[in-house]
């Protein structure tokens, strides 16, 4: 987790803590609305972070698959070349 994400999480935690404290001391509807808005924003940010994490995992997996395929292809090419040379030597 990056420093920015940690700071944003800490800030959101502090914000929700303050709003909860204010809500307990007041019957002001705007404070309740502020709490609802902050929670929605927090969940939205969390959703974006999870989507980014999933995307990063897919990219990492695709890169690994590609590298494995390249390695297998190179190994097959070497084996084919070796067999071709053996076949040529037997032909003469």
Sign of CA dihedral 47, 52, 53, 58: positive
What 3-state class would DSSP assign to 92? coil
pLDDT digits 0-9 by tens, 27-64 = 899 999 999 999 999 999 999 999 999 999 999 999 99
Is it the case that residue 83 has pLDDT exceeding 80? yes
Question: Is this prediction's pTM over 0.75?
Answer: no
Give the number of other CB atoms < 10 A from CB of residue 19. Answer: 19
Give the number of other CB atoms < 10 A from CB of residue 36. Answer: 11
CA distances from 30 to 18, 86, 87 (A): 14, 84, 84
């Amino acid at each position: 987790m990056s420093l920015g994400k940690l700071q944003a999480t800490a800030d959101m935690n502090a914000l929700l803590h303050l709003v909860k404290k204010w809500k307990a001391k007041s019957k002001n509807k705007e404070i309740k609305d502020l709490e609802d808005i902050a929670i929605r924003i927090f969940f939205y940010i969390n959703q974006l972070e999870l989507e980014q994490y999933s995307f990063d995992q897919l990219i990492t997996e695709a890169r690994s698959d590609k590298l494995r395929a390249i390695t297998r292809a190179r190994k097959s090419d070497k084996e084919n070349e070796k067999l071709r040379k053996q076949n040529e030597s037997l032909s003469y």
